[in-house]
C-alpha cells in the first residue's frame, strides 16, 4: 500500500506525537508499504531526510488553531483545497495512493471526502493532542465534525475520544489505540536504592519539552521543599524548550543549581531514564504520556499528574503515584516516600512492567493499526 502523510503545523516541536509518527512510518515501511510525507513541519522533514524516507516540503500556511488564523482559513479554504487536491492528484497519477494520514487541523477541515472516495483512498486522522479551545471554540469545528463522518479518527487515549464526542463527532468514526513500545525479551533488574553513576545519589528525573504546560517548575519547587533529604538528591531534567532559561533561573534562585542538571534534548531518552531512581511527569496537560512507558520498561518508579490520558497509563498506588497538577507539596511528599521506601518502588515497578506487557506492547498497538489499514 502507498501512504501519504500530511502535516501543516502552527509550530514545530519534537514530542510524543512526532516520535509516534516516526515509529508508525517505520512500521509501515517494515511491512512493505511505501510512505511519503507532504508537510511544512521542520521536525518531520528533518527526520525523514535523516532516514532517507520520501518527503515533499509543502506549505498550506499556519494551522488554523488561533482566532486570526481560523478567520484567514475561512477566506482561503476553497483555494487551499484546490491547492492540496492538485498535489494529491499528481501523486496519485505517479503511484496510486491507498491511504491519506492527516496529522493537523488544516487538511481535516478541507472537504476532501468526495475527492478521496472517487479515488478509493482511505482517510485516516491521527489525534495526538487534547481537544480544547483550539477546536471547541473554533468556527472550523463545523467542518471538522462534518468531515469526520467520512474519516477514521485514531486517538491515543479515551480522554481524547470523550472530548471528540463532546463536540458531536460520531463515535463510530473514532478508534482508541493506546501507544505501545517494544519490550525486551530479557526483563530488567528491580530498582536500586541509589545510582552509582552519580556518586550514590538518589536520582530524580524528568524528560519532556520545556514548556509551561509540562510543569517542570513544580518539580524544582518540590525539590526545594524536601530539605531533609536534599543532600542525597540529584535531579536530571532532560529536554529543550522556551522555558529552559526560566527554569535555570528558578533553580539558581532556590540554590539548587548544584544538584539540578539540565541535559538538553537527548536521544535515546531511555538511556537517561536508566540513570534515574524516580521518574516524574508533572504535566498540566497530557494526552497520553508516551515517556511513561519508557520508565515502565526500565523499571523506574513513576510519579505523574492526574490529568488527561495519564490515569489510563498509571494506576495510583499500583503502577505509580498520581497527584493533582500544580500541587508541588504533594509531589514533595511522594518523592520522600519513594526515596525512603525501596519495597514500594519495587512493587510499583513490577506492577508497571506487567501492565506494560499486557496493555502497552508494540505488537498490540500495530495489530490494531493494521486492522484499520486493511479494513
For residue 74, list its beta bridge partners.
Answer: none
pLDDT per residue as tens digits for the range 75-106? 999 999 999 999 999 999 999 999 999 999 99
- Residues 204 and 326 both lie in one domain: yes
DSSP secondary structure, 27-44, as one string: HHHHTT-EEEEEE--HHH
Radius of gyration of the chain (CA): 22
- Residues 211 and 332 both lie in one domain: yes
- Residues 146 and 270 both lie in one domain: no
- Residues 103 and 173 both lie in one domain: yes
- Residues 168 and 294 both lie in one domain: no
What's the whole-number mean pLDDT along residues 128-157? 95
Q: Looking at the domain assignment, is residue 149 inside a domain?
A: yes
Q: Looking at the domain assignment, is residue 30 inside a domain?
A: yes
320 three-class SS: strand
State how many domains the chain has.
2
Q: Looking at the domain assignment, is residue 189 inside a domain?
A: no
Q: What is the pLDDT of residue 193?
A: 58
- Residues 137 and 204 both lie in one domain: no
Q: Which domain holds residue 166?
A: 2-180+361-374
Phi and psi at residue 245, to the nearest 5°: -65, -40
Q: Looking at the domain assignment, is residue 240 inside a domain?
A: yes
- Residues 25 and 166 both lie in one domain: yes
- Give the global pTM: 0.93
- In the chain, pLDDT over 90 holds for what percent of residues? 90
| CA-to-CA separations, 340 to 197, 218, 256, 343, in angstroms, rounded | 19, 21, 21, 9
Task: Using the predicted structure, report yes or no on whether residue 45 has a pLDDT greater than 90.
Answer: yes
- Residues 115 and 244 both lie in one domain: no
Q: What is the pLDDT of residue 12?
A: 82
What's the whole-number mean pLDDT along residues 111-116? 96
The Cα 280–Cα 206 span in angstroms is: 5
The C-alpha angle 185, 188, 192, rounded to 5 degrees, equals 180
- Residues 144 and 224 both lie in one domain: no
Cell of 61: 500556511
Confidence of residue 156 (pLDDT cuts 50, 70, 90): very high
Q: What is the pLDDT of residue 53?
A: 97
- Residues 168 and 266 both lie in one domain: no
Q: Looking at the domain assignment, is residue 188 inside a domain?
A: no
| CA-to-CA separations, 22 to 55, 183, 325, 342, in angstroms, rounded | 13, 18, 29, 36
What's the whole-number mean pLDDT along residues 240-256? 96
Sign of CA dihedral 265, 268, 270, 272: negative
Q: What is the pLDDT of residue 190?
A: 61
Task: Using the predicted structure, report yes or no on whether residue 196 has a pLDDT greater than 90.
Answer: no
Specify the length of the chain in residues. Answer: 375
- Residues 365 and 334 both lie in one domain: no
Give the contacts of 230 (CB within 8 A, at least 6 positions apart): 223, 259
The Cα 298–Cα 308 span in angstroms is: 23
| pLDDT winner (highest mean) among 11-25, 187-201, 272-286 | 272-286
Q: Looking at the domain assignment, is residue 191 inside a domain?
A: no
Q: Looking at the domain assignment, is residue 226 inside a domain?
A: yes
CATH for 54: 3.40.50.2000
Q: Looking at the domain assignment, is residue 150 inside a domain?
A: yes
- Residues 366 and 265 both lie in one domain: no
Amino acid at each position: 500500500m502507498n501512504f501519504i502523510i500530511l502535516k501543516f503545523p502552527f509550530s514545530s516541536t519534537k514530542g510524543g506525537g512526532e516520535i509516534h509518527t516516526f515509529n508508525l512510518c517505520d512500521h509501515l515501511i517494515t511491512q512493505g508499504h511505501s510512505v511519503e510525507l507532504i508537510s511544512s513541519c521542520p521536525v518531520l522533514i528533518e527526520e525523514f531526510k535523516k532516514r532517507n524516507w520520501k518527503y515533499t516540503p509543502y506549505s498550506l500556511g499556519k494551522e488554523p488553531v488561533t482566532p486570526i488564523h481560523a478567520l484567514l482559513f475561512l477566506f482561503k479554504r476553497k483555494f487551499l483545497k484546490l491547492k492540496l487536491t492538485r498535489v494529491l492528484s499528481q501523486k496519485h497519477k505517479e503511484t496510486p495512493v491507498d491511504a491519506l494520514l492527516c496529522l493537523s487541523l488544516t487538511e481535516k477541515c478541507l472537504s476532501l471526502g468526495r475527492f478521496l472516495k472517487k479515488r478509493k483512498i482511505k482517510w485516516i486522522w491521527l489525534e495526538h493532542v487534547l481537544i480544547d479551545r483550539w477546536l471547541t471554540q473554533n468556527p472550523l469545528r463545523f467542518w471538522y465534525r462534518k468531515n469526520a463522518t467520512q474519516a477514521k479518527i485514531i486517538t491515543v487515549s479515551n480522554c481524547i475520544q470523550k472530548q471528540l464526542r463532546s463536540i458531536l463527532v460520531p463515535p463510530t468514526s473514532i478508534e482508541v489505540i493506546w501507544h505501545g513500545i517494544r519490550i525486551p525479551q530479557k526483563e530488567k533488574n528491580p530498582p536500586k536504592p541509589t545510582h552509582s553513576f552519580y556518586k550514590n545519589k538518589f536520582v530524580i528525573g524528568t524528560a519532556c519539552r520545556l514548556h509551561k504546560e509540562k510543569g517542570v517548575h513544580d518539580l524544582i519547587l518540590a525539590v526545594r521543599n524536601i530539605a531533609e533529604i536534599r543532600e542525597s538528591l540529584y535531579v536530571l531534567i532532560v529536554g529543550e524548550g522556551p522555558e529552559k532559561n526560566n527554569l535555570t533561573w528558578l533553580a539558581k534562585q532556590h540554590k539548587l543549581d548544584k544538584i539540578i542538571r539540565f541535559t538538553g534534548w537527548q536521544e535515546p531518552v531511555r538511556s537517561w531514564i536508566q540513570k534515574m531512581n524516580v521518574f516524574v511527569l508533572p504535566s498540566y496537560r497530557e494526552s497520553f504520556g508516551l515517556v511513561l512507558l519508557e520508565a515502565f520498561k526500565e523499571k523506574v518508579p513513576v510519579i505523574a499528574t492526574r490529568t488527561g490520558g495519564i490515569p489510563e497509563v498509571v494506576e495510583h498506588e499500583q503502577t505509580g503515584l498520581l497527584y493533582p497538577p500544580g500541587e508541588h507539596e504533594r509531589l514533595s511528599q511522594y518523592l520522600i516516600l519513594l526515596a525512603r521506601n525501596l519495597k514500594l518502588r519495587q512493587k510499583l515497578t513490577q506492577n508497571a512492567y506487567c501492565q506494560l506487557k499486557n496493555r502497552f506492547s508494540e505488537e498490540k498497538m500495530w495489530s490494531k493499526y493494521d486492522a484499520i489499514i486493511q479494513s
